[in-house]
Structure 1
Amino acid sequence: MHDSSSEVSPLRIQLVVFALVSASFANIYITQPVLPILQNEFGVDLLRVSFTVSAVILGIALANLPFGSLADRLPVQPIILTGGIVVGACGLLCAMTHNLWLLIAARFVQGVFIPALTTCLAAYLARTLPGEKLNVVMGAYVSATVLGGLGGRLLGGWIHPPLHWRYAFVSASLLIFAATVLAVRVLPRDDAHGSADKATVGYRQLLKRGDLVLILLCAAGSFSVFSSVFNYLPFRLGGEPFGFSTEMITLVYLVYVVGIFMGPLAGRISNRFGGGNTLLAGTLVLGCSLWVLGGETVPGIIGGLFGVCSGFFCIHAAAVGLLNRKLDRGQGKANALYVLFYYVGGWSGITGAGVAFEHWGWSGVLHMGLFLLFIPFAAGVSERIVESRER
């Protein structure tokens, strides 16, 4: 393991990581709170306008394996620089275009290059940080994804009323440009990308490990549930019996902030009670919260969303920790596979829930989520059995 990171303050590296990951994730969900606004402006159906979110997620899913391979072979700085330029430029294109399909295409390209900023950075951290610090940093990494997701939603929902949703894209692009320059200048160069042991691990070898595959499926299933709930929340809250405005719907997204604290907390819970128990606890909380979201009171909706965030980020952080603790090489490819499954699950969830919402309304989204929770439940049971044998 290369130790060039010792030349730069660990706090500076953490701040750079937090800034870059937050700025990257801000671009993913920027249209989510204004989907009804986009639907009216472009005159399209609900499913088509949801592509402005799912296209980004699909792009991320498709690009993760190639970028995972690059992360194990090349220095991280040129990859980050390329990704930051493309993501920011496409954001400016989104701000200018009046063609929905061009907007969706630009969002897809953003998704393709976001792994250059996130997956490659995760692999860089895995090979340059000592093992005892990796879990803590990955917890902070998860927290940064939460802050970025929340920030993108706030940009899209709160800047719209006085200005226009297009200005949110301009702000997000400026943030990604600034974070990219900062990362390229501050992150130490590493020479571990050429090590032979990394090259001996392929995607096929990783996918032959049943314990890893179950964690990957856990990521897909849990994010499918989470993304479905939050993507169709504006339509639920904008309709009867709530009738919320765009500003009010965006305010509700503040419950997302609980994930900032759940990332590191779930890591500590997992260290104390085991990863399997942590996955099961998160699944139980998420399932109960979906049931609560079926009600028609504002306190019930807020409480249910807090529970959804708490349960999901508990599962997510525990799964990331389990994955990295099971590996001693090939972290770039393994993390790329994790993000691939994660976002394929998110894309499938948003698409499937769109059909469910159009046919059965909000209850269709919730029932689909409850069904998918069998996946993280199975992963939790399996890990619990493994951990009990190791004691």
Structure 2
Amino acid sequence: MNPVDPARIRKIRIALLLGALAMFALLYAPQPVLPQLADVFALDPGTAALLVSASTLGLAVAAIPLGTLSEVVGRRRTMIVALLIAEVLGLLLPWVPFFPVLVAVRLVQGAAIAGLAAVAVAYLADETGGQHLGTTMGLYVAGTTIGGMSGRLLGGVVGDFAGWHGGMLAVALLAGVCTVLFVVLLPAERNHHRQPLRWRPLLGGLRAALSDPVLYVPYLVAALGMGAFVTVYNVLGFRLTAAPLLVPPALAALAFLSYAAGTVTSTFAGRAADRWGRTQALFTSLAVTAVGLLLMLASNLLVIVVGLVVFTGGFFAAHSVASGWVGARASASARGQASALYQFAYYGGSSAGGVVGGAAYGAWGWSGMTVLLCCWLAVAAFAVRLAVPTRKRVAVAQAS
């Protein structure tokens, strides 16, 4: 293990923050223009949401293979090639005239994005030497929140004036700038030793990541929490622009400024996990997420926005703690595979949860959907509490 260079760590943090920004901007580029896409292609909300679910499905399926491949070809190379492919596809998407083809391209784009999403946590854990990993992971997650907010806001505002084509193109151009900076700034790994392409040790790492029961807690939090989160943001535009609220699309896009709450809370939650323990920080974050969800039941626009801010902040705090837990808990030989499994759960939950949650909204409205999402969050919180039922095991979890 090479000594930790503070200047190099800062460079890594900046590069991965930019990479995360580009990744999330591309991944959710269609989300702010889903109502427009539904009108153009004559779709219901659940079908339009396939443009989001397709990309997260591609990411979930490709996460484990690409995470494992990074052990062979190198983490930096995997992340750079993956993000470049995703950016090229992002620039092509606005010119696709048929909805089924759009869904297919989004599926491939999501698979490409997996090369960054599934490898970044392992790269961070390797190159920081485990020092202040919670804080570093919090900054990385903050990059995802900035990307999610800026991409959705830009796409929604531009899309209101230039159509869904213009909205998605604007997001792709923003991501392109971040991608170039990411490629230039990201240092080559020093502490990761590439493995030869032998399946037995690679599968052994995957087996180790699957055999640790403690890791199933952050995996479950990722799946259920992200399912709830993507459902809310998929259908939010439909609720805000419909009666009785009737918010103009450009103003409805301003709701995505709520992502700023995630930028703050993800960093704070990482520090809280380092100081007070991961389980306590994670349980509290899930509780805050549920409170925000319940606030959004109100019919008052201001209360809905406040609830969205609370919901977003709580979710990203939980994601920051859960993903950092995986990086700290997994052994060095299984870190890449454990990170990939977390991403599989996270984006698999996004894909499946987005479809199920969208269908719930279509069938039961916002209130029925809220009941379903609260049940998901309750199951995740229960799993966290089961993981450490005694103070003694809290101390063990903190030490791990």
TM-score w.r.t. the length of structure 2 is: 0.91
Q: Which residue of 1 aligns with 2:225?
A: 222
Supply the distance in 2 between the matched residues of 1:118 and 1:335 (Cα, whole angstroms).
9
Taking only the aligned residue pairs, the percentage that are identical comes to 31
- In the TM superposition, residue 37 of structure 1 has moved relative to its aligned partner by 0.7
**Is residue 343 from structure 1 mapped to residue 342 from structure 2 by the alignment?**
no
Supply the distance in 2 between the matched residues of 1:75 and 1:175 (Cα, whole angstroms).
27
Supply the distance in 2 between the matched residues of 1:390 and 1:117 (Cα, whole angstroms).
32
Bigger shift: residues 286-295 or 378-387: 378-387
**Contact kept in structure 1, 2:91 and 2:173, CA below 8 Å:** no
Q: Give the secondary structure class of the aligned counterpart of 1:190.
A: coil
**Is residue 205 from structure 1 mapped to residue 202 from structure 2 by the alignment?**
no
Query: 1:370 is aligned with what amino acid?
Result: C
Supply the distance in 2 between the matched residues of 1:41 and 1:322 (Cα, whole angstroms).
43
Q: Which residue of 2 aligns with 1:102?
A: 101
**Contact kept in structure 1, 2:30 and 2:168, CA below 8 Å:** no
Supply the distance in 2 between the matched residues of 1:86 and 1:29 (Cα, whole angstroms).
16
Supply the distance in 2 between the matched residues of 1:389 and 1:126 (Cα, whole angstroms).
23
Q: Give the secondary structure class of the aligned counterpart of 2:161.
A: coil
- In the TM superposition, residue 390 of structure 1 has moved relative to its aligned partner by 5.3
- In the TM superposition, residue 32 of structure 1 has moved relative to its aligned partner by 1.1
Query: 2:363 is aligned with what amino acid?
Result: H
Query: 2:230 is aligned with what amino acid?
Result: S
| Residues 188, 7 of structure 1: alpha-carbon distance in 2 compared, 3 angstrom cutoff | farther
**Pairing partner for 1:237 from 230, 240, 248:** 240
| Residues 155, 100 of structure 1: alpha-carbon distance in 2 compared, 3 angstrom cutoff | same
Bigger shift: residues 34-43 or 319-328: 319-328
Bigger shift: residues 103-112 or 179-188: 179-188
Q: How does 1:154-165 map to 2 (within 5 A)?
A: 154-165=153-164
Supply the distance in 1 between the matched residues of 2:388 and 2:236 (Cα, whole angstroms).
33
**Contact kept in structure 2, 1:61 and 1:341, CA below 8 Å:** yes
- In the TM superposition, residue 249 of structure 1 has moved relative to its aligned partner by 1.0
Supply the distance in 2 between the matched residues of 1:271 and 1:134 (Cα, whole angstroms).
8
- In the TM superposition, residue 110 of structure 1 has moved relative to its aligned partner by 0.8
Supply the distance in 1 between the matched residues of 2:326 and 2:265 (Cα, whole angstroms).
18
Q: Which residue of 2 aligns with 1:182?
A: 181
Q: Which residue of 2 aligns with 1:364?
A: 368
| Residues 353, 11 of structure 1: alpha-carbon distance in 2 compared, 3 angstrom cutoff | same
- Runs of 4+ aligned residues of structure 1 deviating over 4 Å after TM superposition are 5-8, 195-201
| Residues 99, 2 of structure 1: alpha-carbon distance in 2 compared, 3 angstrom cutoff | farther
Supply the distance in 1 between the matched residues of 2:265 and 2:393 (Cα, whole angstroms).
28
Query: 1:70 is aligned with what amino acid?
Result: L
- In the TM superposition, residue 179 of structure 1 has moved relative to its aligned partner by 3.5
Q: Which residue of 2 aligns with 1:171?
A: 170
- In the TM superposition, residue 243 of structure 1 has moved relative to its aligned partner by 0.7
Q: Which residue of 1 aligns with 2:398?
A: none
Query: 2:266 is aligned with what amino acid?
Result: G
TM-score w.r.t. the length of structure 1 is: 0.93
**Contact kept in structure 2, 1:283 and 1:373, CA below 8 Å:** yes
Supply the distance in 1 between the matched residues of 2:86 and 2:68 (Cα, whole angstroms).
20
- In the TM superposition, residue 39 of structure 1 has moved relative to its aligned partner by 0.6
Q: Which residue of 1 aligns with 2:307?
A: 304
Q: How does 1:316-331 map to 2 (within 5 A)?
A: 316-329=319-332, 330-331=334-335
- In the TM superposition, residue 7 of structure 1 has moved relative to its aligned partner by 10
Give the RMSD, CA atoms, in angstroms: 2.2
Gaps of 5+ in 2: 396-400
**Is residue 28 from structure 1 mapped to residue 32 from structure 2 by the alignment?**
no
Supply the distance in 1 between the matched residues of 2:151 and 2:337 (Cα, whole angstroms).
28
Q: Which residue of 1 aligns with 2:272?
A: 269
| Residues 9, 276 of structure 1: alpha-carbon distance in 2 compared, 3 angstrom cutoff | closer
| Residues 164, 373 of structure 1: alpha-carbon distance in 2 compared, 3 angstrom cutoff | same
- In the TM superposition, residue 300 of structure 1 has moved relative to its aligned partner by 1.4
